[in-house]
Amino acid sequence: MPIYEYRCPSCGFQKEHLQKMSDQPLSTCPSCGAAGYAKLLSAAGFQLKGSGWYATDFKGGSSSAPAASPSSDSSPAAGCGGGCACH
């Protein structure tokens, strides 16, 4: 589901809202009640639900990449350090 950012021109309140693409845009500021609450143009954001590669491979995993082991291969591709998929 996309995450949309809204801002109120009256009070300056700004917040991100998780909405379906089919949902109507919000128009009333949750802070002051003004009717000018408008969607901002910002970088795309979304939230993935359920299970899949994003949940099993990235969600809750360690933030550091595994250390690349040096390659003992004497082929021309050995200059890459052995941390790529060419070995």
Cα(29)–Cα(43) distance, integer angstroms: 21
**Residue 77 in tokens:** 């591709």
Among residues 36, 38, 39, 58, the alpha carbon closest in space to that of 48 is found at 58
Average pLDDT, rounded, for the chain: 75
pLDDT in tens, 49-72: 767 676 666 666 555 555 554 554
Question: Options 2.20.28, 3.30.360, 3.30.1360, 2.60.40; which CATH number does 1-46 get?
Answer: 2.20.28
Cα(4)–Cα(84) distance, integer angstroms: 37
Taking the CA atoms of residue 46, residue 50, residue 55 and residue 56 in that order, the dihedral angle to the nearest 10 degrees is -160
Specify the pTM: 0.50
At residue 63, the pLDDT reads: 53
Please calculate the CA angle 74-80-81 and round it to the nearest 5 degrees. 80
16: confidence class by pLDDT, cuts 50, 70, 90: very high
Residue-range domain boundaries for the chain: 1-46
Q: Find the distance separating the first CA and the last CA of the chain, reported in whole Å.
A: 38
